[in-house]
């Protein structure tokens, strides 16, 4: 428990540094939201008036204090374009992003763990080579290309899934799942490749350990042996999966763009393009928080996966 | 144990299979799924010049007058109007039964407040003010305009379809300070905005306004009956063009407002699709008139002499039948104000002559900082051809690549090019933002303006004013020609040519022949 509290407290200065860095990076980059809001044909005077109204004419430190002051009271501010509260924008975007992340990771574990273990079991055989070839290909082909190919194959030629869009879970499990199959398969290919390689390497290492040799000598079957090896190889796999989830929540912009899914990734990119400061700052800060939290969860999971680890 | 695993697997498969069966269609809601050209960010069409906000305005608000399919102003919310013999006194009566979405009646006070708000931002509104316009409500349905001098274009102003179209808001909203956009949407248009379903960056939903009272006349342009055939209209912003076209082919969307040039050929040959023009656009090179070398009109003339419009338009990528080899007018070829006055010397690009003109202008090899947007394909193409053109006549051009949002910020700076300023950038304007000396923003900018580029020529200002306030048609035409002649001498900006943008709809969508000039008058469509 003291470890947990210590880790959470240690996260606070990290988040404070992230807040400052994010603020400075965004405000010092060229571009002016007032000019974008005012539109293509606006005059310089129009833009200047808007800058004053938005508080963008204030010195940078004052703008930071205003933002930070609201932040500590839990107020993430309002999008300077749509005037929609950032919390509402995030609430709209979280469901698709979490759905994609959960389904992609489930698919990844379902495919990658058996595949990697099988490759390790048959190391050097044609099966192993085939699995590794698949992993290399899945990792190398650009995500957008996989997306387009899947859309062509399974939305246009075989009209099984929609081309674009996200159906909310509240509208029924069927439409929800149908809207997620193609984007999740597209994304999962990369993670399957990653986790398959990691699983193969760690299981292979475990299979060469003395205790496995002993277990085999005692006549333990292939499946129990592999399961034991997989269990002992779980720590590095958990790290890879955990970081994968963090990346997925942080933003899978290409997939969200190709399949026109309004998730957190596209929210970040759209906001950066239009310099919507309150949205970018809040989302990046929350993403950093998610990274810290997932790192903590990964560390805690080690204890369950390997009882030898003590905190 | 094995049986349990089997049962679990079977249950999972069954659930998956059930999930993949398409859900039954929702009960008889006739929906149009429309892919707009941009993401809707601002809900206030009176605040930003962005076309997407204007288009939003046409969905949820109504206008006092509107242009018909021939470009003629027609009463829309107005039932009848009178004009005094001398043109100085106008009276307008609103149609009976007009209601805002909050249930309140639309009154003359709302109309007057909306006009006054609009006049604070719009060049047409400013011109009316200069003519001494005074607006006043007479009773609940009647309002009056009195002028100090005749202004022939009163109805053109009230019906203008470009940015800052005059939409009617409730008085309480129209009177709010104009320093921030309005986020409350209370209109009296054919559709209601569903704020609870709005996902900025993705989806905007409208439902038919049950309280809307359409006109009796058939729809024409933006005028006439707005029947609103669809119960629901969804604007789905699909930033990836491939996905948008695939969704159209699959029938997930019905209509793409702005089709990228790359897809035109395949859509033209697709029997299930209906490709049409979505309005004329003009390419424009905006130059900074405050600093050398473009503070010198002779240097600007040299650039004009070097411009081969055909090359610029080809670079954008539209097929030859959708672009013009050359358009001589500043005011959109094919529009009522088209004129060739003053254009003769520049009809054909002549690089040798342009080089000579540059030498004669006394050009001292000053650096030309050309802003090149890297993220907007067609603007990038225009900038790159311009870079080559400038180089070929001996201008010391230095391209500066940046994203469009950075261009918009940089172009507002008045500094010299080597002190954070700029020399030139290319952009495009829709026909309604170019088709007259007052609508064309780079030609309507009088001296002392705050427009990026800061063009200033007092003779041009005088000619514009004379054209605006002249009432005799023949004399107006003469003044228009004189204005353009002078524009070709002082070159407020360089026209880079004209092209037709394209939109595409599925064949089963009816009424696409009534779409007009690139403004999505979606109320004419049906399925």
Which domains are assigned to chain B?
45-51+61-173 (3.90.76.10), 280-501 (3.10.105.10)
Span B17-38, average pLDDT:
70
φ and ψ at B208, to 5 degrees?
-60, 140
Percent of chain A with pLDDT over 70: 97
pLDDT tens digit sequence for B312-361: 999 999 999 999 999 999 999 999 999 999 999 999 999 999 999 999 99
pLDDT tens digit sequence for A70-129: 888 888 888 988 888 999 999 999 999 999 999 999 999 999 999 999 999 998 899 999
User: What is the SS3 string spanning chain A?
Assistant: CHHHHHHHHHHHHHHHHHHHHHHHHHHHCCCCHHHHHHCCCCCHHHHHHHHHHHCCCCCHHHHHHHHHHHHHCCCCCECCCCCCEHHHHHHHHHHHHHHHHHHHHHHHHHHHHHHHHHHHHCCCCHHHHHHHHHHHHHHHCCHHHHHHHHHHHHHHHCCCCCCCCCCCHHHCHHHHHHHHHHHHHHHHHHHHHHHHHHHHHHHHHHHCCHHHHHHHHCCCCHHHHHHHHHHHCHHHHHHHHHHHHHHHHHCCHHHHHHCCCCCHHHHHHHHHHCCCHHHHHHHHHHHHHHHHHHHHHHHHHHHHHCCCCCC
User: The whole model's pTM is what?
Assistant: 0.86
CB B335 within 8 A of CB B435: yes
B130 touches chain A (CB under 8 A): no
CB B354 within 8 A of CB B303: yes
Residue A53 has its nearest CB partner, among B180, B200, B244, at B180
Question: How far is Cα B424 from Cα B288, in angstroms, rounded to an integer?
Answer: 6
What residues of chain A lie within 8 A of the CB of B50, using their CB? 39-40
Name B6's Cβ contacts closer than 8 Å, sequence gap at least 6: none
Provide ipTM, 2 decimals. 0.81
Span B385-406, average pLDDT:
93
Name B429's Cβ contacts closer than 8 Å, sequence gap at least 6: A40, A41, B281, B282, B284, B440, B441
CB contact under 8 Å between B201 and A262, yes or no, is: yes
What residues of chain A lie within 8 A of the CB of B451, using their CB? 43-44
Buried b (16+ CB within 10 A) or exposed e, B83-105: eeeeebebebbbbeebebbeeee
Q: Output the pLDDT for position B13.
A: 46
Interface of B with A in 172-191 (CB under 8 A): 179-181, 183
Q: Output the pLDDT for position A25.
A: 84
User: Is the pLDDT confidence value at A24 over 50?
Assistant: yes
Question: How far is Cα B121 from Cα B166, in angstroms, rounded to an integer?
Answer: 11
User: Is the pLDDT confidence value at B9 over 50?
Assistant: no
Q: Output the pLDDT for position B19.
A: 47
Give the pairing type, strands B31-35 and B232-236: parallel
Higher pLDDT, A49 or A178: A178
Q: Residue B10's pLDDT band (boundaries 50, 70, 90)?
A: very low
Span B372-393, average pLDDT:
94
In B, minimum Cα distance to A156 occurs at: B250
Q: Output the pLDDT for position A129.
A: 95
Q: Output the pLDDT for position B121.
A: 85
Higher pLDDT, B152 or B391: B391
Residue B246 has its nearest CB partner, among A81, A151, A274, at A151
Q: Residue A208's pLDDT band (boundaries 50, 70, 90)?
A: confident
Q: Residue B24's pLDDT band (boundaries 50, 70, 90)?
A: very low
Ramachandran region, residue B497 (left: φ > 0; alpha: ψ -120 to 50; beta: rest): left
Span B173-195, average pLDDT:
92
- Look at residue B243 and give its three-state secondary structure: helix
Q: Output the pLDDT for position B524.
A: 95
User: Is the pLDDT confidence value at B1 over 70?
Assistant: no
Q: Output the pLDDT for position B18.
A: 45
**How many CB atoms sit inside 10 A of residue B295's CB?**
14
CB A119 within 8 A of CB A127: yes
CB contact under 8 Å between A32 and B412, yes or no, is: yes
Cis peptide before B510 (omega within 30 of 0): no
B16 touches chain A (CB under 8 A): yes
User: Is the pLDDT confidence value at A15 over 60?
Assistant: yes
In A, minimum Cα distance to B19 occurs at: A174
Lowest mean pLDDT among B5-19, B170-184, B410-424: B5-19
- Measured between CA atoms, how close is B338 to chain A, in angstroms? 22
Q: Residue B526's pLDDT band (boundaries 50, 70, 90)?
A: very high
CB contact under 8 Å between A46 and B450, yes or no, is: yes
Higher pLDDT, A268 or B58: B58
CB contact under 8 Å between A32 and B21, yes or no, is: no
Q: Output the pLDDT for position B47.
A: 86
Q: Output the pLDDT for position B89.
A: 97
In B, minimum Cα distance to A167 occurs at: B23
Options 3.30.470.20, 1.10.1660.10, 3.40.50.970, 1.10.3720.10; CATH of A91-305: 1.10.3720.10
Q: Residue A40's pLDDT band (boundaries 50, 70, 90)?
A: low
pLDDT tens digit sequence for A153-205: 999 999 999 999 999 999 899 999 999 999 999 999 999 999 999 999 999 98
* Token pair of A170 as six digits: 């509240």
Q: Output the pLDDT for position A223.
A: 87
User: Is the pLDDT confidence value at B389 over 90?
Assistant: yes
In A, minimum Cα distance to B250 occurs at: A156
Interface of B with A in 456-475 (CB under 8 A): none
Interface of B with A in 228-287 (CB under 8 A): 236-240, 242-244, 246-247, 249-250, 252
User: Is the pLDDT confidence value at B201 over 80?
Assistant: yes
What residues of chain B lie within 8 A of the CB of A91, using their CB? none
Mean pLDDT of chain B: 91
CB contact under 8 Å between B201 and A270, yes or no, is: yes
Name B419's Cβ contacts closer than 8 Å, sequence gap at least 6: none
Q: Output the pLDDT for position A220.
A: 81
Q: Residue A41's pLDDT band (boundaries 50, 70, 90)?
A: low
Q: Residue B414's pLDDT band (boundaries 50, 70, 90)?
A: confident
CB B287 within 8 A of CB B67: no
Q: Output the pLDDT for position B6.
A: 42
Higher pLDDT, B493 or B262: B493
User: Is the pLDDT confidence value at A6 over 90?
Assistant: no
Span B466-490, average pLDDT:
95
Q: Residue B23's pLDDT band (boundaries 50, 70, 90)?
A: very low
CB A147 within 8 A of CB A259: yes
CB contact under 8 Å between B250 and A53, yes or no, is: no
Give domain limits for chain A. Answer: 2-71, 91-305
CB contact under 8 Å between A45 and B450, yes or no, is: yes
User: Is the pLDDT confidence value at B4 over 70?
Assistant: no
User: Is the pLDDT confidence value at A251 over 70?
Assistant: no
Q: Residue B270's pLDDT band (boundaries 50, 70, 90)?
A: very high
Percent of chain B with pLDDT over 70: 95
Pick the closest to residue A248 from A194, A303, A201 (CA basis). Answer: A194
User: Is the pLDDT confidence value at B5 over 60?
Assistant: no
Residue A155 has its nearest CB partner, among B53, B200, B250, at B250
Q: Output the pLDDT for position B365.
A: 95
CB contact under 8 Å between B50 and A40, yes or no, is: yes
CB contact under 8 Å between B180 and A45, yes or no, is: no
Q: Residue B27's pLDDT band (boundaries 50, 70, 90)?
A: low
User: Is the pLDDT confidence value at B94 over 60?
Assistant: yes
Q: Output the pLDDT for position A113.
A: 93
CB A290 within 8 A of CB A245: no
Higher pLDDT, B2 or B443: B443
Span B71-93, average pLDDT:
96
In B, minimum Cα distance to A268 occurs at: B201
Question: How far is Cα B27 from Cα A103, in angstroms, rounded to an integer?
Answer: 30
CB contact under 8 Å between A177 and B19, yes or no, is: yes
What residues of chain A lie within 8 A of the CB of B429, using their CB? 40-41
Q: Output the pLDDT for position B14.
A: 46
In B, minimum Cα distance to A181 occurs at: B20
B14 touches chain A (CB under 8 A): no
Question: How far is Cα B130 from Cα B157, in angstroms, rounded to an integer?
Answer: 13
Mean pLDDT of chain A: 87
CB contact under 8 Å between B252 and A175, yes or no, is: no
pLDDT tens digit sequence for B221-253: 999 999 899 999 999 999 889 999 999 999 999
Residue A42 has its nearest CB partner, among B49, B239, B405, at B49
Q: Output the pLDDT for position B275.
A: 93
Q: Output the pLDDT for position B2.
A: 42
Q: Output the pLDDT for position B412.
A: 81
CB contact under 8 Å between A164 and B449, yes or no, is: no
């Amino acid at each position: 428990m003291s470890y947990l509290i210590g880790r959470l407290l240690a996260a606070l200065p990290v988040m404070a540094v992230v807040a400052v860095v994010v603020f400075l990076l965004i405000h010092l980059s060229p571009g002016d939201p007032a000019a974008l809001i005012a539109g293509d044909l606006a005059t310089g005077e129009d833009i200047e008036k808007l800058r004053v109204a938005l508080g963008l004419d204030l010195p940078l430190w004052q703008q930071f204090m205003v933002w930070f002051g609201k932040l500590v009271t839990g107020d993430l501010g309002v999008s300077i374009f749509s005037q929609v509260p950032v919390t509402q924008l995030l609430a709209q975007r979280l469901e698709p992003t979490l759905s994609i992340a959960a389904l992609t990771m489930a698919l990844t574990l379902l495919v990658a763990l058996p595949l990697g273990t099988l490759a390790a079991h048959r190391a050097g055989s044609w099966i192993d080579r085939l699995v590794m070839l698949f992993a290399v290909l899945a990792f190398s082909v650009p995500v957008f290309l996989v997306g387009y190919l899947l859309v062509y194959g399974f939305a246009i030629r075989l009209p099984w899934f929609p081309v674009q869009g996200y159906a909310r879970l509240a509208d029924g499990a069927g439409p929800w799942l149908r809207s997620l199959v193609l984007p999740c398969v597209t994304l999962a290919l990369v993670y399957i490749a990653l986790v398959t390689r990691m699983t193969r390497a760690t299981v292979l290492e475990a299979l060469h350990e003395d205790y496995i040799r002993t277990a085999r000598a005692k006549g333990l079957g292939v499946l129990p042996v592999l399961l034991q090896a997989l269990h002992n190889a779980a720590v590095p796999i958990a790290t890879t999966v955990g970081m994968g989830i963090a990346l997925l929540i942080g933003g899978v912009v290409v997939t969200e763009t190709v399949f026109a899914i309004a998730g957190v990734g596209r929210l970040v990119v759209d906001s950066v393009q239009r310099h919507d400061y309150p949205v970018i700052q809040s989302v990046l800060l929350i993403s950093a928080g998610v990274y810290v939290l997932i790192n903590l969860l990964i560390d805690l999971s080690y204890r369950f996966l390997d009882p030898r680890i003590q905190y | 144990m094995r049986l349990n695993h089997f049962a679990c697997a079977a249950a999972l498969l069954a659930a998956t299979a059930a999930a993949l069966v398409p859900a039954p269609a929702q009960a008889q809601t006739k929906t149009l799924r429309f892919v707009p050209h941009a993401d809707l960010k601002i809900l206030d069409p009176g605040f930003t010049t962005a076309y997407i906000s204007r288009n939003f305005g046409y969905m949820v608000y109504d206008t006092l007058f509107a242009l018909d399919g021939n470009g003629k102003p027609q009463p829309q919310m107005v039932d009848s109007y009178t004009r005094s013999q001398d043109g100085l006194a106008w009276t307008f009566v609103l149609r009976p039964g007009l209601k805002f979405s909050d249930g309140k009646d639309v009154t003359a006070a709302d109309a007057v407040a909306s006009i006054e708000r609009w006049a604070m931002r719009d060049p047409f509104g400013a011109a009316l003010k200069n003519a001494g316009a005074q607006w006043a409500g007479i009773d609940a349905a009647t309002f009056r305009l009195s002028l100090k001098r005749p202004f022939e274009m009163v109805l053109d102003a009230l019906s203008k379809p470009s940015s800052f179209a005059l939409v009617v808001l409730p008085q309480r909203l129209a009177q709010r300070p104009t320093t921030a956009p309005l986020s409350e949407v209370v209109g009296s248009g054919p559709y209601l905005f569903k704020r609870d379903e709005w996902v900025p960056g993705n989806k905007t939903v409208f439902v038919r306004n049950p309280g809307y009272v359409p006109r009796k006349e058939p729809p024409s342009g933006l005028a006439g009956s707005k029947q609103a055939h669809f119960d629901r209209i969804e604007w789905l912003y699909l930033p990836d063009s491939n996905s948008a076209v695939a969704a159209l082919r699959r029938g997930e969307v019905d209509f793409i407002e702005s089709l990228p040039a790359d897809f035109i050929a395949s859509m033209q040959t697709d029997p299930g699709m209906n490709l049409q023009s979505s309005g004329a656009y003009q390419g424009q090179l905006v130059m900074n008139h405050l600093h050398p070398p473009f503070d010198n009109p002779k240097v600007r003339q040299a650039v004009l002499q070097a411009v081969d419009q055909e090359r610029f338009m080809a670079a954008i990528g539209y097929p030859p039948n959708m672009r013009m080899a050359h358009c001589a007018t500043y005011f959109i070829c094919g529009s009522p104000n088209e004129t060739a006055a003053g254009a003769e010397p520049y009809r054909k690009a002549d690089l040798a002559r342009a080089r000579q003109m540059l030498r004669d202008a006394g050009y001292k090899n000053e650096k030309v900082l050309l802003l090149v947007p890297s993220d907007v394909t067609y603007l990038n193409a225009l900038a790159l051809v311009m870079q080559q053109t400038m180089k070929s006549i001996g201008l010391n051009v230095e391209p500066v690549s940046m994203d469009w949002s950075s261009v918009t910020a940089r172009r507002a700076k008045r500094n010299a090019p080597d002190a954070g300023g700029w020399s030139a950038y290319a952009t495009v304007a829709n026909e309604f933002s170019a088709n007259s000396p007052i609508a064309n923003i780079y030609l309507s900018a009088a001296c002392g303006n705050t427009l990026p580029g800061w063009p200033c020529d007092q003779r041009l200002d005088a000619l514009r004013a004379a054209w605006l306030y002249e009432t005799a048609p023949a004399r107006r035409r003469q003044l228009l020609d004189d204005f353009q002649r002078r524009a070709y001498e002082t070159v407020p900006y360089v026209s880079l040519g004209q092209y037709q943008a394209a939109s595409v709809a599925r064949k089963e969508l009816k009424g696409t022949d009534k779409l007009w000039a690139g403004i999505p008058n979606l109320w004419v469509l049906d399925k």
